[in-house]
Structure 1
Amino acid sequence: MNLLAFYGFITVISLSGVMSPGPLTAFLIARGRQSPWAGIWVTLGHALAEVPLIIALYAGLQPFIEIQGIREGVSLLGGGVLIYLGSGVFRSFRAAAPEQKSVLQCNSLTGGVLLTLLNPYWILWWLTIGASLIARTSEFGWLAGLVGMTVVHLLADAAWAVFVTWSSNQGSRMIGETGWMRIEQGCAWVMLGFGVFFVYDGLMGVLA
């Protein structure tokens, strides 16, 4: 496989992961109302969490990350935070003025970091698919291989994130306040659903 084919492979694999529905996608939809370019900030937050993990895996720290209990702990913590964030949206609908009810609880950059770090399946993706990509970078050296892979992966993430926030922003202009509030409530339910699932998954891992 030559370098351009490798980059194309990374792009396809990255998009297949980032386009999967999940709490980060729900957050992107919600943030899109504030700015069509919010996806850039969410991706930057995502990168702040992801780049250190890529470096750690490249440096050979995968066995440490796979220590029993790490994944379960992330599942429990991540699930709890997602439940808090999702329920926070409903609390704001009850407590805030009508024009303030559709504001999520954290900004785009912070949300990008939190919803990345607290997703156990993000770690699982990098321990499996991501680790195999990192292993292939040795064929091209650390600059064209590792750095190039990271840049291409993050560009794919950013392209999808901006597409989601831009589409959300354009759509919010047509559906009105009531329609948008329903969409934001739907996003909150997605976060709550994944939160409950992560907590359940973590508990099953602990009790197994």
Structure 2
Amino acid sequence: MISILLFALTSFLIGLSGAMAPGPLLTVTVSDSIRRGFRAGPLLVAGHVLGEALLVTLILMGLGYILRSGPAPAILGTAGGAVLIWMGILGFRDSEDTENIPEGGSILRGAIISFANPYFFLWWGAVGAALMYRGLELAGVLGLLAFLAGHWSSDLTWYSLVSFLSSRKSFRMNGRPYKIVMMILSLFLILFGVYFLIESLKAISGYS
């Protein structure tokens, strides 16, 4: 039992190190929290977890190697980069709208942002898969659940904290500070997308 708890703690710390790295999900967590308040963070994580649950299922079915082999990462990166650019452009438009985002919107955005990030697939195809199988070796299904509990707890802890801090300085008024912050965050999404797109197109050209 102690070994399982230690494995869950290890999974939490490894997951936390990844969650704390700047990325598209962090950017969207800040922007949604400014507009909707603290609940945006947990809702985005819910969408993120749903996406990861699907990926975990695929890996257990033996498809994990596809995520890190051949041109797959580059293709995923190209598609993801395009989606992030699109979401960033929409963000510029939405900066003029101070209406709350629907409850289901943040869950869907959490899933879309996760799948749009090519490093999401690379991490799960390598680190995530290794930890999953380690958990299975350690204690079967209980070990796998320990890994998932630790990993998902790290996401929920970090993004809930980010959401809480962002919502405390919320720019909910229809004024200039709100619009400036939303435009900056949208620009970051576009920059992430352009970076992923360029790197992925370089990789694809290497296969031709």
How far has the Cα of 1:112 moved from its partner?
0.4
Give me the whole-angstrom Cα distance separating, in 1, the residues matched to 2:203 and 2:100.
35
Is the 1:81–1:195 Cα contact (8 Å) retained in structure 2? yes
Give me the whole-angstrom Cα distance separating, in 1, the residues matched to 2:71 and 2:127.
21
Q: Which residue of 2 aligns with 1:73?
A: 75
Is the 2:30–2:163 Cα contact (8 Å) retained in structure 1? yes
Q: Does 1:149 align with 2:147?
A: yes
Number of residue-to-residue matches in the alignment: 203
Give me the whole-angstrom Cα distance separating, in 1, the residues matched to 2:130 and 2:196.
25
Aligned-residue Cα RMSD (Å) equals 2.4
Instruction: Give the residue type in structure 2 aligned to 1:79.
Output: G
TM-score (norm 2): 0.88
How far has the Cα of 1:103 moved from its partner?
6.7
Structure 1 segment 153-172 matched on structure 2, within 5 A: 153-172=151-170
Give me the whole-angstrom Cα distance separating, in 1, the residues matched to 2:99 and 2:75.
31
Q: Which residue of 2 aligns with 1:132?
A: 130
Unmatched runs of 5 consecutive residues or more in structure 1: none
Q: Which residue of 2 aligns with 1:16?
A: 17
Give me the whole-angstrom Cα distance separating, in 2, the residues matched to 1:176 and 1:101.
6
Give me the whole-angstrom Cα distance separating, in 2, the residues matched to 1:162 and 1:86.
22
Is the 1:75–1:202 Cα contact (8 Å) retained in structure 2? yes
Write out the 4+ residue segments of structure 1 that deviate beyond 4 Å after TM superposition.
101-106, 173-176
Is the 2:44–2:109 Cα contact (8 Å) retained in structure 1? yes
How far has the Cα of 1:185 moved from its partner?
1.5
Instruction: Give the residue type in structure 2 aligned to 1:123.
Output: F
Is the 1:89–1:103 Cα contact (8 Å) retained in structure 2? no
Give me the whole-angstrom Cα distance separating, in 2, the residues matched to 1:125 and 1:102.
35
Is the 1:89–1:102 Cα contact (8 Å) retained in structure 2? no
* 1:159 to 1:175, Cα distance in 2 relative to 1, 3 A: farther
Q: Which residue of 2 aligns with 1:52?
A: 54
